[in-house]
Structure 1
């Protein structure tokens, strides 16, 4: 199999336990460039835990994770995977622009993009110099979305990305996802709502303990 045909991410019999109690698994799925997967399940089924495992914030208990056909090495794929969870990871005392500059300094930037133009593109024109702690929940989410766009990550892990967004914000998320997939990226998304995804029906990953 050629490198281009290999899945970006593959899970084999992936399971996670907390205090010897199963949280999810075993799970098996493959996600290739240009593909989107919707992670489905009831509250408490382990959707957020799965995202945190994939992001490297929790250790795999059982099973295997592969990145481009090889065992996932967090150091080797540094910057290739980005996670946006319920906690957005923004510094409240920094401005929107400063938060993006910090992220770029750590992980690099997609060529041709700049913080101010990206903030404008996500609907935050005029808020570039506003401390993030003074922004609304929806505006903070838009700063985090701008960070996604700027960083050169190939895989987006988005845990409830539509939370705190109005219908225009939901449409923005879908637009950004579409562009990311068209550019050869991939994404896993958790969502309780019925959302129209770019490119038709996504792959569905059903969580079960």
Structure 2
């Protein structure tokens, strides 16, 4: 088994004077996946935001390769992709243009990313006319653009039909095969075989 690359040590988070979670610890090695489960309001989304460096932890540490993961927030941001509840799309831009903007920042093959989520037939349509499921697939297609070490996914299958969830499987598998790690908050089964579970 490979050594841990990403480590959380005794994380705690307060939101609006309420303790959301405390004493959260885990390790992830290259290729591993972790599912965050629990009731609504248990802190899954807050934990993902702490892991992304978007929300400060009240206590605890995050380590990347045994060093402070947040010592350089720009570097930390570059080694992860965070997909929150919002799809973060420009409504007036086409599906291809939305991905093209992202590809200019991170690199990657836009047609291949569209194909990975079965979006090539919709490439020239403005995002505003896409269904909620199509918008979610377009947001997920950003993950296919450029490799990085860690994917943080908040309810990635919201609005997706069964076929779309199945298409997500090869994308997740390819990322893990390259040594990528996945942490996903979910209420539904995800195509992440051998994933460990952390219940909040």
Aligned to 2:139: 144
In structure 2, the gaps of 5 or more residues are none
Confirm or deny: 8 A CA contact 2:35 2:197 kept in the other structure.
yes
Give the number of the structure whose residues are more often helix, by fraction: 2
Structure 2: how far apart are the matches of 1:195 and 1:5?
23
Q: Does 1:175 align with 2:175?
A: no
Q: How many residues align?
A: 198
SS of 1:91 mapped into structure 2: coil
Q: Give a deviation string over 1:161-196, Cα, whole Å, max 9, x none.
A: 111111111111222111111111000011111344
Aligned to 1:205: 198
Structure 2: how far apart are the matches of 1:195 and 1:146?
16
Q: For residue 42 of structure 1, report the CA deviation from its aligned partner.
A: 0.9
Aligned to 2:75: 76
Aligned to 1:64: 61
Q: For residue 117 of structure 1, report the CA deviation from its aligned partner.
A: 2.7
Q: For residue 78 of structure 1, report the CA deviation from its aligned partner.
A: 3.3
Q: For residue 143 of structure 1, report the CA deviation from its aligned partner.
A: 1.0
TM score, norm. by length of structure 2: 0.93
Structure 1: how far apart are the matches of 2:3 and 2:89?
33
Structure 2: how far apart are the matches of 1:115 and 1:188?
24
Structure 2: how far apart are the matches of 1:8 and 1:90?
31
Residue 51 (structure 1) aligned to one of 48, 51, 63: 48
**Compared CA separation, residues 195 and 120, structure 1 to 2 (3 A):** closer
SS of 1:29 mapped into structure 2: strand
Aligned to 1:166: 161
Q: For residue 13 of structure 1, report the CA deviation from its aligned partner.
A: 0.5
Superposed structure 1 runs of 4+ greater than 2 Å apart? 4-8, 194-198
SS of 1:187 mapped into structure 2: strand
Structure 2: how far apart are the matches of 1:158 and 1:93?
25
TM score, norm. by length of structure 1: 0.89
Confirm or deny: 8 A CA contact 2:165 2:191 kept in the other structure.
no
Aligned to 2:112: 117
